[in-house]
Amino acid sequence: MPQVSDRGKAMPDSPIRKLAPLADKARERGVKVYHLNIGQPDLPTPPAALAAIKNIDRAILEYTPSEGIRSFREKLAKYYHKFKIDVDVEDIIITAGGSEAVTFAFMSCLDPGDEIIVPEPAYANYEAFAIVAGAQIKSIAASIEDGFALPPVEEFEKLITSKTKGIMICNPNNPTGYLYTQEEMNKIRDLVKKYDLYLFSDEVYREFCYTGSPYISSFHLEGIEQNVVLVDSVSKRYSECGLRIGALITKNEEVKRNVLKFCQARLSPPLIGQIAAEASLDADPEYMLSNYNEYVNRRKFLIDGLNRIEGVYSPIPMGAFYTVARLPVDNAEKFCAWLLADFEYQNETIYLAPGSGFYTASDKGVDEVRIAYVLNRQDLAKSLKILEEALKVYPGSRVKKTEVVKNEMNS
């Protein structure tokens, strides 16, 4: 039997999905599982998108241009202009989700052995896409004590070598919900300029900023227009994860030329998804506002609830719909598995994403979890109660009765 690739073996299991078999088994036992692990919004897709799908008037479902349907790209350009992102239709290339946009960005800009710097915790699949491109992620840990603010510039500079080709950020951030300030973005800009790096900027959560602080796009930063490769997606914005429609936006002609070759090789992004996504750009402002307000409320409810549980701490996320919380447990991955395999409260349990999967260093995030607030308030309330009860009885908990802890320490 021939050997599989080392690259495939090196690919990480998704921290968001790796415990899915345990969740399946819990369900088989009749236990209800609340999914806080995955960024799958429960809010409705815009009616305009669903109508566009139902009204498809085509006899043949043909390839679209490799770079995407022109009318969709034109509308997207106008959408970005509303955020003062000054891009032209030619700068926008449609991809199969933000995932393909990151992949093509790395493939087009990075060669095997090249390095990129990523503040962590970070979206877990960046590491997977770096492996696909043969590139190395050099990480700088942001700290929960600082609310996951940008680590000091000196930390970045320590990592910069001749192999460093770029910095990757996600703003507003998945998994922390952090929103970079103008000052932080200026520091990133200066680094990018000083070392002539790419700035890969994942901005799929731009519509979800909750604190009144401005959303600063990497395209707002002056003097690095040729360095920015922006990643976007309609998945989260419009609850359209299943469409697989994203975009890669760059003003760098050479990058565009490379990206287009990868696009041509896979022929076309999904046709129906593009039609639905284009219609979504006309979504009723009421729809957007209603979803926004729902996340605002959930955020307050969840974070307040988390911080009321003994030993639990969550900074206040400023955007997206996640938070990274610290739990009073020996090992959050064990705890997450235990929640699914060995625990239930009133016949229900919760599925959290272990924090360690959002760091490349194995000693980071050991007592952290990512929680997505993609459930309604009632389910969030139940989830918080389940977490509280679980922490009382989990064998590796640090908030149990003192004797039990002592026994464990002696064993």
| Binders of its own copies in range 264-323 (CB under 8 A) | 264-273, 276
Least Å distance between CB 170 and its own copies? Answer: 15
Give CA–CA dist 323/299, Å, rounded: 9
Residues 191-230 that bind its own copies (CB under 8 A): 196-198, 226-227
How far CA 263 is from CA of 219, 242, 249, 257, 287, in Å, comes to 23, 20, 13, 10, 32
Q: Which is nearer to its own copies, 103 or 171 (CB)?
A: 103
Of 323-362, which residues contact its own copies (CB under 8 A)? none
Segment near its own copies (CB under 8 A); pick from 124-132, 181-189, 341-349, 391-399: 124-132
Stretch in the footprint of its own copies (CB under 8 A) among 4-12, 200-208, 288-296, 388-396: 4-12
Q: Please report, as residue ranges, which positions from 69 to 108 form the binding site for its own copies (by CB under 8 A).
A: 96-97, 99-100, 103, 107-108
Minimum distance from residue 214 beta carbon to its own copies (Å) = 27
**Binding-site string for its own copies from residue 14 to residue 43, where x marks contact by CB under 8 A and - marks none:** x--x--------------------x-xxxx
Q: Answer yes or no: are the C-beta atoms of 369 and 338 closer than 8 Å.
A: no
Q: Rule CB under 8 A: is residue 409 a binding residue for its own copies?
A: no
Q: 148: burial class by Cβ within 10 Å (0-12, 13-18, 19+)?
A: buried
- Under a CB-based contact definition with an 8 Å cutoff, are residues 182 and 214 in contact? yes
In angstroms, rounded to a whole number, what is the distance separating the alpha carbons of residues 37 and 114?
31
What gap in Å lies between CA 407 and CA 371, rounded to an integer? 31
Is the CB of 116 or the CB of 327 nearer to its own copies?
116
b/e for 228-247, b at 16 or more Cβ within 10 A?
Answer: bbbbbbbbbbbbbbebbbbb
Cβ proximity to its own copies: between 107 and 247 the closer is 107
Torsion region of 398: left, alpha or beta (phi above 0 gives left; psi -120 to 50 gives alpha): alpha
Q: Which is nearer to its own copies, 70 or 300 (CB)?
A: 70
In one letter, which amino acid is 188?
A: I
Whole-angstrom distance, CA of residue 272 vs CA of residue 249: 21
Query: In the numeric block, which tokens belong to residue 220?
Result: 């707002």
CB of 106 to its own copies, least distance (A): 8
> Smallest distance from the beta carbon of 256 to its own copies, in angstroms?
10
CB nearer its own copies, residue 261 or residue 392: 261
H helices of 63-149, where? 70-82, 97-109, 125-133
Which residue, 53 or 140, is less far from its own copies as judged by CB?
Answer: 53
Residue 59 engages its own copies in binding (rule: CB under 8 A): yes
Q: Are 10 and 327 in contact (CB under 8 A)?
A: no
166 in contact with its own copies (CB under 8 A)? yes
Question: Using CB under 8 A, which of 142, 169, 204, 259 touches its own copies?
Answer: 259
10 Å CB burial of residue 50 (0-12, 13-18, 19+) is middle
Q: How many residues line the site for its own copies (CB under 8 A)?
A: 85
Binding segment for its own copies among 77-85, 109-117, 138-146, 389-397 (CB under 8 A)?
Answer: 109-117
Q: Which is nearer to its own copies, 24 or 146 (CB)?
A: 24
129 touches its own copies (CB under 8 A): yes
Q: Are 118 and 98 in contact (CB under 8 A)?
A: no
- Could you tell me the smallest distance in angstroms from the CB atom of residue 221 to its own copies? 15
A 10 A CB-CB count for 40 gives 14
Task: Please provide the distance, in angstroms rounded to a whole number, between the alpha carbons at the two ends of the chain.
Answer: 45
Work out how close the CB of 116 gets to its own copies at its nearest, in angstroms, rounded to a whole number: 11
Looking at the Cβ atoms of 13 and 304, the one nearer to its own copies is 13
Q: Which two tokens stand for residue 153?
A: 């510039």
| Least Cβ distance, residue 272 to its own copies (angstroms) | 4
Residue from 19, 36, 64, 248 that binds its own copies (CB under 8 A)? 64
- What is the number of other CB atoms lying within 10 angstroms of the CB of residue 1? 3
Interface with its own copies (CB under 8 A), residue from 73, 206, 244, 299? 244
Q: CB of 244: closest distance to its own copies in angstroms? A: 5
Of 10-18, 171-179, 206-214, 305-313, the window that binds its own copies (rule: CB under 8 A) is 10-18
Secondary structure (3-state) at 150? coil
